[in-house]
Amino acid sequence: MMKSSVFYRDLNRVYESFAGGEGCYLIDREGRRYLDACGGVAVNVIGHGVERIAEALSKGIGAASYVYGAAFSSTYQEELARKLVSVSPLGDAKVFFSSGGSEANEGAIKMARQYHVERGEIGRWKVISRWLGYHGNTMATLSVSGRPSWRTIYDPYLMRSPKIDPPYCLRCPLGMVYPRCGLACADELERTILMEGPETVSAFIAEPILGTSVSAVVPVPGYYERIREICDRYGVLFIADEVLCGYGRTGKVFAIEHWDVQPDIITIGKGLGSGYAPLAATMASEKVVEAFEQGSGRFVHGFTFSGLPASCLVGNEVFDIISDQGLFERVEPMGEYLASVLRHMAESHKIVGDVRGLGLLAGIEFVADQESLEPFPEQMGLTERVVRVAEEKGLLLRQGTSGSNFNQGGDHVQISPPYVISEAEIDEMVDLLDQTLTDVEEELL
């Protein structure tokens, strides 16, 4: 095999590449088809190999010539921003485009900070977040991420960012049980704001439905309403990171709409370009926009590729495909079907500790003991085994990132297929998963 010149994330592994894709399948160079149960990493929403994207690019590529976003705009950017605002819960919002979810969250952190500066509250800069949250891999977004395995070696570079416990009822970090807990984990936000000094706190950032660190944990009813009350009480902005759980993934366009709450800033990414172009967005609510308009009028931020016309062109086509095919509406019924077959399949597997999620975002947590929920020892690499056996069977699964049991093991996989998935494909996916878990359980005997 020829030596690779790519600096891969794992230099000891051989990375396969695919020859093509079609709907929910990826096809390797030998023609073998793999069911993409995760849309890569909750990215692909419209399916692989969609010709309309190629046609839109070939027709529009001239008008999508690069222009610098600090000097010029494009009709693609204008159009896409209008479409996103039309489906958002943020009122007369505005959209700042970027290339990926980390950039979108970096933008949200800076937007929140500048919001306070515009209003004369220059002491507000701290961003409170949650353990087991993930917001990106740049230094600021890693600082607000609560994933120790990705933070530890960069710790000297990270900014101070207070963390509260996540609303993870299965392994409640406060040892409580809902509803008797009275939403104690949300109240931690208030205590943390008070301890830090409200005049120093800029924002609270959270994934409405927890994504890759714990795979699809859905907070209980009332959780975000309490978070919103606390933020309002202390003049703290609420940033909903919907990079993974947004853009239709959970059955509503924005996952926060499952609660009766309006955030101040929403970030989206992944599905926005569906993997056909790097594209993400920071969406500012009317309240945030007004502070800028009544203040300096200028956002001190930007990248070379902010609002890239070619990416926005793709974003428009993805949006139109979603609208034409009713894909946002399709997620809820398909998600209910997925949940029912997953739960049924799980009944015959003693390593499954939890099946959870909403819409086409599901998570399966594996445990050594179903009664005590004791996780497998980390060094066993249980999830890696599941992913490897599944791949041998033609099923691509996304391994949840290690440590859902608060950095002491905790195995889980995420399921987040393209929205075009059919019931027959869900059956095939769950059947392959069933066979995979049977083989892994046999290996453990």
Name the residues that contact ligand PLP, by CB under 6 A: 41, 100-102, 105, 134-136, 207, 211-212, 241, 243-244, 269
Name the minimum Å distance from CB 98 to ligand PLP: 9
| CA–CA distances in Å: residue 120 to residues 116, 117, 294 | 6, 5, 12
Name the minimum Å distance from CB 329 to ligand PLP: 24
Name the minimum Å distance from CB 240 to ligand PLP: 10
Would you say 137 or 294 has its CB closer to ligand PLP?
137
Would you say 161 or 212 has its CB closer to ligand PLP?
212
Would you say 245 or 390 has its CB closer to ligand PLP?
245
Name the minimum Å distance from CB 133 to ligand PLP: 8
Name the minimum Å distance from CB 360 to ligand PLP: 15
Name the minimum Å distance from CB 207 to ligand PLP: 5
Would you say 190 or 241 has its CB closer to ligand PLP?
241
Q: Are residues 248 and 323 in contact, defined by beta-carbon separation less than 8 angstroms?
A: no
Name the minimum Å distance from CB 126 to ligand PLP: 19
The closest residue (CB) to ligand PLP is 101
Would you say 21 or 146 has its CB closer to ligand PLP?
146
Q: Are residues 106 and 141 in contact, defined by beta-carbon separation less than 8 angstroms?
A: yes
Would you say 112 or 291 has its CB closer to ligand PLP?
112
Would you say 50 or 280 has its CB closer to ligand PLP?
280
